[in-house]
Amino acid sequence: KDFRNNVKPNWCPGCGDFSVQAAIQRAAANVGLTPESLAVVSGIGCSGRISGYINAYGFHGIHGRSLPIAQGLKMANRELTVIAAGGDGDGFAIGMGHTVHALRRNIDITYIVMDNQIYGLTKGQTSPRSAMGFKTKSTPGGSIESTLSPLEVALSAGATFVAQSFSSELKQLTALIEAGIRHKGFSLINVYSPCVTFNKVNTYDWFKENLVNLDQEEGYDPGNRIQAMTRLMETGGLLTGLIYQDTTKPSYEDQVTGFRQEGISKQNIQITEDEFERLVAEFK
């Protein structure tokens, strides 16, 4: 199935987000989805435009709120495959509360974060993922705050699928998105997606020199949460590959009781005009 549409992305040439778009399109095709069975929900930021660049249902939400929208969508129509996407400012600053609670809730969504360690759309300010000492317009003397480690937070919050990749590793990134879509529960995939315009420190070359690929690490067990946390701490989060997966924890929607299992969009809701008026009156 073709997940490409005719919309030309207006990302800067060389932006890492192009690879993420291609990886989502390839992964969706590889798992046999159709454009009608996929919804891509995004927040605000350069990366937030991605929902308009994929031939599927798209919802360009508001800043930091892709996950509440994506979760509502999944509960309303559980037959949809739902991907939420956004940047590190979107998901790990203003949206961090939603991210933590979606992680522990384990609702069946794939969340892809394009992590470029800077705010690109607003022309280059320090983000929670920027390194200490990082100089931008908002921190001209260098950032004095610690860098947030979202994957360590995810493991602490009860995540069941944690992975990381890099825009230059399209094959690995595609495979991880496929695995995330297949995972029955919440999957967090953080992608080092360089901002070539505003981040002159964390460049493609910098990542190539510094990333450690777990796919090449003998004896690494993604089922071992302690080992996952240890390797993240040892490498300062500069790992790629499947870092952690727990297939035993049921998803949120499979545990909801007192609620019909089929999505709201599939339920035959017939009410009379009087009942409708009464319901509306309750919310006045």
The site for ligand SF4 (CB under 6 A) is made up of: 11-12, 15, 17, 46, 116, 120-121, 195-198
Burial class (CB in 10 A: 0-12, 13-18, 19+), 125: middle
Contact partners, residue 234, CB within 8 Å, separation at least 6: none
| Integer-rounded Cα radius of gyration of the chain | 19
Q: What's the min distance (Å) between Cβ of 193 and ligand SF4? A: 7
Contact partners, residue 161, CB within 8 Å, separation at least 6: 179, 180, 183, 185, 186, 187, 188, 244, 245, 246
Beta bridge partners of 82: 39
Identity of the residue, 121 or 229, whose beta carbon is nearer to ligand SF4 in the bound complex: 121
Considering Cα of 265, then 65, then 116, then 243, what sign does the dihedral take?
negative
What's the first-to-final CA gap in the chain, in angstroms? Answer: 46
Q: What's the min distance (Å) between Cβ of 252 and ligand SF4? A: 32
Neighbouring C-alpha atoms within 13 Å toward the C-beta of 95: 29
Identity of the residue, 92 or 252, whose beta carbon is nearer to ligand SF4 in the bound complex: 92
Q: What's the min distance (Å) between Cβ of 191 and ligand SF4? A: 12
Identity of the residue, 75 or 196, whose beta carbon is nearer to ligand SF4 in the bound complex: 196
Q: What's the min distance (Å) between Cβ of 118 and ligand SF4? A: 7
Identity of the residue, 15 or 33, whose beta carbon is nearer to ligand SF4 in the bound complex: 15
Q: What's the min distance (Å) between Cβ of 239 and ligand SF4? A: 22
Identity of the residue, 20 or 70, whose beta carbon is nearer to ligand SF4 in the bound complex: 20
* Distance, CA of 37 to CA of 41 (rounded, Å): 13
Identity of the residue, 116 or 202, whose beta carbon is nearer to ligand SF4 in the bound complex: 116
Q: Residue 15 gets which letter from DSSP?
A: -
Q: What's the min distance (Å) between Cβ of 79 and ligand SF4? A: 33
Q: State the CB neighbour count (10 A cutoff) for residue 179.
A: 18
Identity of the residue, 157 or 196, whose beta carbon is nearer to ligand SF4 in the bound complex: 196
Q: What's the min distance (Å) between Cβ of 16 and ligand SF4? A: 7
Contact partners, residue 180, CB within 8 Å, separation at least 6: 110, 112, 161, 163, 187, 189
